[in-house]
Amino acid sequence: MIETKSFDAEIEKTRSMVEEMRSRIGQSSDLLEKVAEADTLGDVDFDIENARIEDVLAQQKVMEANIADLIISLEDVTDSFGAEFKNMRTFTLSEKLVGIFSRKKAQAMQNDRVRSTSLAGNLQDLLAKSDIIVNILNDQKAVLLQRYENAETGLKKVIDRREQVISELKTTQDTIEELNPMLLDIENRIAASTSQEERTRLEAERSGMATRYNEAQAKEQELLAGSQTLERYTSMFQTFVDSLNNQIAAQNTLINKLSIDTEQRVVLYKSLEDSLKTAAQQKVAHQINTLGSKVDTAAEETMAGIGAAAQSHIADLLELHGKNMQSTQEIQRRKQLADDAFARRFAQVMEAHEKSDYAS
């Protein structure tokens, strides 16, 4: 069986990174929930919280790139399995020695070895690693969905609250605009009055009106400050919600890519092994050198040759892995869609991976 200990270490590293990311998201999410429920405004240090959210955004990209690289590395590990297929179609040293005296006997020995060899261990190891990564992604997605729902609820509360403040601010400003000419008019009337009694009455009226005017102005300043604070709350919430939404989209892309790849490899892997074990198909086995992305064309030719004979084996393995058998053409179509989405979102990761050797 192919050794993949270093790959296992990368999986654990990714798991730790996801858990740390989950903790950071939780801290920001919990604080924003308190903000949405708070009766008073201004208790949040915006600079600190915005910096924390920016840090979450940066860590999110690092985490997603790490997982994307892990998925690409899984393809490299899969490709390394191709060496075992090559060994199955070539003569061993003992078979070569026998072949010196009898080509037919050497061929028979090779056929017996191929028929008795099982590569199911490699396949199961591959499926197990795929399942581990998918479970990590699904767990993170579940957390993100819950946080996203809570953040959207909080954002709506903040927006509704700001709308109420703006409405009250508009009413207060209307009052100020209404009182302003009234104050000017009463001051003119006081200046023009020659009656002490009338002046006393007008001054009392002006005093009460001035009190209302001053209170309205103070209320306006308070509401303006509240509106500005809620606007900053809204911006902070929106940034966080957008971040969670992007993370969920990334999780979906990664899960879809990995799931389709795994499904395709189950079909291809078993079909290739069965084709090699079918003596009548040995003449086409030389076309199969690698298993990963390089094997698709050869696999189509091989599978076309072996027909329905291998279908029961494939169906058993798919059922074991919790999947239904699907046509190769449909899997290839879905894989192309998944690969395209993956390439669009993680083009930089793929480019970096191609420039380095991460295979275990």
pLDDT in tens for each of the 360 residues of the chain? 445 567 778 888 888 888 888 888 888 888 788 777 776 665 566 677 777 777 877 777 888 888 888 888 777 766 666 556 666 667 778 877 877 888 778 777 766 766 666 556 666 777 788 888 888 888 889 988 998 998 898 899 889 989 999 999 999 999 999 999 999 998 888 888 888 888 889 899 999 999 999 999 999 999 998 888 888 888 888 888 888 888 888 888 888 888 887 777 777 666 665 655 554 344 434 444 444 444 455 445 444 444 444 444 444 444 544 444 445 667 677 777 877 777 777 777 667 766 665 444
Residue located via tokens 């060899």: 117
Closest listed residue to residue 241, CA positions, set 157, 135, 134: 157
**DSSP class of 308:** G
d(CA 49, CA 32): 9
d(CA 181, CA 101): 119
d(CA 277, CA 275): 5
Note whether 11 and 67 are within 8 A (CB): no
* Domain range list for the chain: 5-81+119-354
pTM > 0.75: yes or no: no
d(CA 242, CA 17): 21
pLDDT at residue 194, as a whole number: 81
d(CA 84, CA 86): 5
Using a 10 angstrom Cβ sphere, with 0-12 exposed, 13-18 middle and 19 or more buried, the burial of residue 35 is buried
